[in-house]
Amino acid sequence: MTRLTDWLATRPLREQGLMLAALVLLLVYLGVRLVWWPLTSERSAILARTQQMNLALTAVAGLPARAVVARDDRPLARVLTETAPEFGLSIRRIDVTQGGADLTLDDAAFDGVVLWLDTLEGEHGVTVAALQVTRRPVLGQVAATMTLKAAP
């Protein structure tokens, strides 16, 4: 660096000023080219994506929260006992109540319970009125007690 400053000191004052002006212009150009342009193009892309998302939200806003599923005509206890094994679940106790059922699952895989409940709601019109999940010592295993209601 000292060689450069020594060389610059030997230049006439007018050349030093021109070099300083050229350096300032170069820094401004690089700032615009490497910082400003990428930021503005990214901002434009973000604004376009936001506008698309807003259009999608507007289109979806008028739709019902969830499609209404026709009620399964089979008795609720039968639906529960037939669908549980598909998710690796065994029902320990089931008590049929007015328009619903109380049931207990022991040592069930948590993801299987969640997927089963989603399938019951989405395909059979059964909703969860109450749910209590207790962790078991084995990773991913739970005990669950729940109250399920059949769609009217």
| Cβ contact 149:126 at 8 Å | yes
pLDDT score at 68: 62
| Cβ contact 52:44 at 8 Å | no
Phi/psi at 103 (nearest 5 deg)? -145, 160
What is the chain's pLDDT, residue by residue, as a tens digit (152 residues)?
Answer: 789 888 888 999 999 999 999 999 999 999 999 999 999 999 999 999 999 999 888 888 877 766 666 666 788 899 999 999 999 999 999 999 888 899 999 999 999 999 999 999 888 889 999 999 999 998 989 999 999 998 77
Element (H, E) at 129: strand 126-135
CATH of 76-150, one of 3.30.70.100, 3.90.640.10, 1.10.260.40, 3.30.1360.100: 3.30.1360.100
pLDDT score at 70: 65
pTM: 0.56
81-88 contacts, C-beta under 8 A, 24 or more apart? 83/116, 83/119, 83/120, 83/124, 84/116, 86/116, 86/119, 87/112, 87/113, 87/115, 87/116, 87/119, 88/112
The token duo for 122 is 């989405």
| Cα three-residue angle 3-7-10, rounded to 5 degrees | 145
What is the per-residue pLDDT across 83-111, written as a single tens digit (0 to 9) for each?
A: 999 999 999 999 998 888 999 999 999 99
pLDDT score at 29: 95
Residue 117 amino acid letter: L
